[in-house]
Structure 1
Amino acid sequence: MAIFDGLFRGRDHQARVDDNDAKKSQFTVSSHSVPSTGSTTPSSGLATPTEEKGLSPLGPVPEIGRLGSWKGALVLLVTSGSQFLDNVFMTSANVALSSIQEDFNVSATNLQWMISAYTLTFGGFLLLAGVLSDRYGRKLILCLGLTWLSIWTLAIGFGQSFIQLTVFRGLQGIGAALTVPSAIGIISAYFTGLDRTRALSIYASSGTVGFCVGLIFGGFLTSSLGWRYIFYFIVIITGALGILGFIVLPADNMAGKAKPKMDYVGAMLSTAGLILLQFVLSSGGVYGWGTPFIIVLLILAVALLASFVVLEKFISCPLMPLSLWKLPNFAGLWVAGFTCYGSYQNVIYYIVLMAQEVDHLSAGDTALRFLPMGVIGFIASMGTGKALEYVNGKYTLLAGLILTVLAPVPSAITASPETSFWVNVLPTSLISITAVSLIFVTTSTAILTTVPVNVKSLCGGMLNTAFQIGSGVALAISAAVTETVDIKKGHGLAEQYATGLWCSAGLAGLGLIIALLSVRRRGIGPNDRDDTACAI
């Protein structure tokens, strides 16, 4: 551990001591937030201070960890490993689609459900998973999620029909949704100060590495042993992480916490609405946006989500306190994540297709050529975390959004059967992974260091919900535009993919404009991020 200690110990030692002291008083509400009547509960319900010394809304003062310790490293291994696996699950299945289609004789229209089933449940359960983590224990929910993932990952490996695979993938997505908010909540509550920023950077980089490992791992296994071995090998990792998490993760100190009533109606409305919205966004291009049942489901999804928002305004124990949106920069950062990640996933979708359908590369060759993307993603994520120690978060956010706008341009301009992968795919892949690394680390750090500790997992779930919905919206928009501009006119695949990439640039441009207008420098600078909870 000497290397680890040397990496993370330094000039901030005294600052960390001060941060630990701040942690113990993080539930103190500022005098301008609460009237001087002696009331100890702000009207928003986000922070609930207690006069009893040494207690917080979660019970005893939470355990403080150091990144440069054995336990801190293992805690980060489990939490970052969960993020790593979520991305491996997404991309490895993408590479295996053609083999699955051949084995089960599935039509191209139905094949998309192998991916959509996972994203539907993953995006739909994130908000609920965040609330469950905050209320019933992050360690409990994370370990439960890893156990659930292990069961259904193994089931996919032994699946005997495409319907079984699709159902199992949907159930697998629920497990992935349970791991993300709980892992983010554990990192945000366990580490403090600069350790937290660095831990979030490593967490983000594990996602970018997982994306590329999924491509490479899935490509080579599909080409050699067969696609089932993807799931046979991954279940070993999920099981090991679950066991390690049970041993090393900080205990859920729930003693002394007032357990509010669970908003079951809100949970049902939000989950059903998000799943329906994800379904419509992923299926509208396949079945046609003018199809009656797509229109009906879209109206129903909007109605459910609108009803959820109205309910949260009046219920005493809301699933998602609407006052969260009043936090400085929260809405602007959420929109930045929505547009950036949507554009990024759209770019990845089209450049992977371009590599295989236009450049005619095999799954293994495609995977190998995306290896530089994983390296750059890891470096960019770690570099962003370091930069945030010195630079205001608005600058890194804007830099990421500018790169997001520029990322699709090289591939869109050079898309042609006569152009090689190194010209029409590689530059876009490297720029896009750098952009999403900048924005993921910045938004995660800025949001999670300015919200009360008792809603950190919820906010992590909300941020990742933005990522998932953004991905669906971006793909739906680009699919609709491509259908009108290229497919109906008989244009080739290269032209279709170029149009989809230009749509990515447009969505990112919208996010850039919104961020310029709505995100302020105040509150996300290196001296503004601390461990004090924002009272509203």
Structure 2
Amino acid sequence: MSNLPSDCDRALAASGAPAQREAQPEARPAAHPNLVLCTSILSSSLAFIDGSVVNVGLASIGRDLAGGGADLSWVVNGYLLPLSSLLLLGGAMGDRYGRKRILLTGIAVFALASLLCALAPQLWLLVGGRVLQGVGAALLLPNSLAILGATFEGKTRGRAIGIWAAAGAAAGAIGPLLGGWLIDTVGWRAIFYINLPIAALAIFMGWRFVQLKPGGKPAALDPFGALLASLGLGCVTWGLADASAQKHLTLAAGLALVAGILILLAFLWTERRAGEHAMLPLKLFGSSGFSGLNLMTFLLYGALGALMLLVPYVLIQALGYSAKQAGAALLPFPIVLAIGSPLMGRVAGSHGSRLPLSIGSLIVAAGFLLATRIGDGGYAATVLPAMLTIALGMACVAAPLTTAVLSSVDGSHTGIASGFNSAVARGGGLIATALLGVVLTARGRALLPPFHAALLVCAVSAAAAAVCAFIWVSPTNGGPKADGR
């Protein structure tokens, strides 16, 4: 899940071509469309499953490799950082060099990185493997979804995206449970070994059945912009993680934060000069709807990323759950999301996205408040109501957000808009995880007070997301009369 439900990437497939600008659509293959769909599901599942499984294994990794709070946060952030900053570049590379080629390259990189993670004798090598996994995911994820969008059209595209989203939800449900069982019976290294046969099958099917022909004028690449975005985000993330773990702003953390902000400002300057050839054309932010939706996404998915990391960690470390039990505790979330998202998608398509996004975010905030009771009772009385409430709220948000993002810009920019929104969702999780060092450094029952404080912050963040949606999303955005603004 990359710490997030697969629905946060639905717009990538619906747009048909992430990061695509002037390139023409690739020719649709006549043969084996269902096998192409299976290839897309297999390859994207590598990116989705690993995040949630690693969350369940974080406590075991910390014990085995002697990792502290800030160090453990990098097991998650090492993956999210390149995925957040390189996602748009990965889509543009597919447009320029061929989506099939970049997809297979991304899967191979992810597989090699998984092997490095599985064999890592020290924490820094595991983090290095996670960074490499993030690079592979940034290559494979947008291109697997672009291939899906290019293979199907009309009603068959909607059906294929629905099957892909359902498969992602199933992976979200099974992944933590399977991962917890593997951790309890074999060890945490097995959660990385299991990627190898999945990757091998995805490579074979991609090589054998994906037959897309190159389009017209290739998309422009912006590697310097991607480098600046990665460095800037990396500096900010490290500074926040260090300050959180130390419980105060150290000189090194302050310098890292200042450097990160300056580099990100340089990134914006270079993107402005690059114009339409930029990784992120800044004129998109002339749409208040687009800007508001991305701020809402950052706040809401940042809070969700913190939840998906903290809940299994606290259940294991503070409340004595096994890894398998902690994985099972997350099971209601993807089930409710899978059932509720399609229903809310139809509501948004008929009546606009503003109210579902606003009300759904408020329900999520209420769920975070309910989660502050975790530790004061059993699973059924504390964890389950919170997870069900948060899942219900996210079901109200996920599909309408896709509709709203695609409606907030003109048709020629839907690919870049959806890719950027997916990157923002990961970026929210990245920043949130960086701030959790203060929680991860605690042990036993001492975890509960900072955990509850983090949940209150998440509730405020989700409520702020509701305000953003209500203020900046047009009542008709995503509805039958959406004007793209």
Q: TM-score interval w.r.t. the shorter chain?
A: 0.7 to 0.9
* 1:174-227 deviation per Cα after TM superposition (whole angstroms, max 9, x unaligned): 111222322343344444455545544544444444333331111100111222
**Structure 1 gaps, min length 5:** 1-22, 27-44, 48-56
Q: Say whether the 8 Å CA contact 1:385–1:441 is kept in structure 2.
A: yes
- Write the mapping of 1:289-308 to structure 2, written as runs, cut at 5 A: 289-308=248-267
Q: How does 1:259-270 map to 2 (within 5 A)?
A: 260=220, 262-270=221-229
TM-aligned CA distance change 1:120 to 1:196, over 3 Å: same
Which of 340, 360, 369 pairs up with 2:320?
A: 360
> SS in structure 1 opposite 2:350?
coil
Instruction: Give me the whole-angstrom Cα distance separating, in 2, the residues matched to 1:347 and 1:259.
Output: 37
- CA–CA distance in structure 1, aligned partners of residues 409 and 156 of structure 2: 17
Cα separation, 1, equivalents of 2:213 and 2:391 = 35
- Cα deviation per residue 1:128-163 (whole Å; 9 max; x = unaligned)? 223323433333322221121112112322333333
**Cα distance change, pair 196–463 in 1 and its aligned pair in 2 (3 A):** farther
Indicate conservation of the 8 Å contact 2:62/2:68, yes or no. yes
**How far apart, CA to CA, are the structure 1 residues paired with 2:143 and 2:287?**
21
Q: For 1:111-260, what aligned pairs fall within 5 Å after superposition?
A: 111-249=72-210, 251-254=212-215, 256-257=216-217, 260=220
Structure 1 residues 508 and 519 mapped into 2: Cα distance closer, same or farther (>3 Å)?
same
1:335 aligns to 2:291 (yes or no): no
Q: 2:244 aligns with which of 285, 288, 307?
A: 285
C-alpha distance in 2 between matches for 1:106 and 1:358: 17
Q: 1:141 to 1:278 in 2, by over 3 A?
A: farther
- Residue matched to 2:448: 494
1:340–1:439 contact (8 Å) kept in structure 2: no
In 2, Cα distance between equivalents of 1:153 and 1:445: 34
- Give the helix-richer structure, 1 or 2: 2
Kindly report which structure 2 residues correspond to 1:12-27, keeping only aligned pairs within 5 A, or say none. Answer: none
Corresponding residue to 1:380 among 303, 320, 340? 340
| Distance 1:448-1:303 versus aligned 2 partners, 3 A rule | same
The letter for the 2-side match of 1:266 is: G
Structure 2: distance between partners of 1:398 and 1:70: 43
Query: CA distance change for structure 1 residues 190 and 518 in 2, over 3 Å: closer, same or farther?
Result: farther
User: Aligned partners of 2:60 and 2:375: how far apart in 1?
Assistant: 26
* CA spacing shift, 1:176–1:63, aligned 2, 3 Å: same
| Letter in structure 2 aligned against 1:345 | G
Cα distance in 2 for residues equivalent to 1:114 and 1:173: 11
Q: Which amino acid aligns with 1:222?
A: I
| Cα distance in structure 1, aligned partners of 2:157 and 2:357 | 18
Q: Could you say what secondary structure the match of 1:329 adopts? A: helix
Check 1:203–1:367 CA distance in 2 against 1; reply closer, same or farther (3 A cut). same
* C-alpha distance after superposition, 1:205-253 (max 9, x if no partner): 4444433333111110011122222222221112212222233335142
What secondary structure does 1:390 align onto? helix
Asked if 1:430 corresponds to 2:388, the answer is yes
Contact 2:59 2:316 in 1 (8 A): no
- Mapped pair 1:312 → 2:271: yes
Q: What does residue 23 of structure 2 align with?
A: 58
Contact in 1 for aligned 2:56/2:312 (Cα 8 Å): no
Q: How far off its partner does 1:523 sit?
A: 4.2
Report the TM-score, using the length of structure 1 for normalisation: 0.77
Contact map agreement 2:371 2:455 (CA 8 A) in 1? yes
Conservation of the 8 A alpha-carbon contact between 1:289 and 1:295: no
Aligned pair partner of 1:347 in 307, 325, 332: 307
For 2:243 and 2:112, the matched residues in 1 are separated by 31
SS at match of 2:194: helix
Aligned to 2:416: 458
Deviations 1:74-100 (A, max 9, x none): 333333434432231112122223333
Please give the alpha-carbon distance, in whole angstroms, between the structure 2 residues aligned to 1:284 and 1:380.
39
Question: How far apart in 2 are the matches of 1:358 and 1:125?
Answer: 36
Aligned residues: 467
Alpha-carbon distance in structure 2 between the residues aligned to 1:385 and 1:212:
21
Percent identity of paired positions between Structure 1 and Structure 2 = 24
- Look up the equivalent residue of 1:330 and give its one-letter code: F
| SS of equivalent to 1:112 | helix
Displacement of 1:107: 4.4
TM-score, with structure 2 as normaliser: 0.84
Structure 2 distance, partners of 1:334, 1:162, is: 33
Judge conservation of contact 1:415–1:495 (CA < 8 Å) in 2: no
- Which residue is equivalent to 1:472? 430
Contact (CA 8 Å) 2:27, 2:213: kept in 1 or not? Answer: no
> Which deviates further from its counterpart, 81-90 or 448-457?
448-457
Larger Rg: 1
2:403 paired with 1:445:
yes
CA distance in 1, matches of 2:173, 2:107: 21
Of 260, 265, 274, the residue aligned with 2:233 is 274
For residues 338-365 of structure 1, what are the alpha-carbon distances to aligned partners after superposition, in whole Å with 9 as ceiling and x for unaligned?
Answer: 1111111222233223422443211112
CA contact (8 A) 2:318 2:447 kept: yes
CA displacement 1:457-481 (0-9 Å, x = unmatched): 533331122112212334456767x
1:510 to 449, 455, 464: 464
State the distance in 2 between where 1:75 and 1:226 align. Answer: 33
1:506 is matched by which residue type in structure 2? V
Which AA in structure 1 matches 2:429? S
Aligned residue type for 1:77:
C
Is the Cα–Cα contact under 8 Å of residues 75 and 249 in structure 1 kept in the other structure? yes
CA-to-partner distance for each residue in 1:456-508, whole Å, 9 max, x for gaps? 5533331122112212334456767x79xx98xx9943332222111111001
The aligned amino acid for 1:180 is L
Aligned equivalents of 1:314 and 1:110: distance in 2?
37
CA distance in 2, matches of 1:369, 1:257: 49
Is the partner of 2:249 in helix, strand or coil?
coil
- The answer as to whether partners of 2:78 and 2:130 remain within 8 angstroms in 1 is yes
- 1:46, CA displacement in angstroms? 8.8
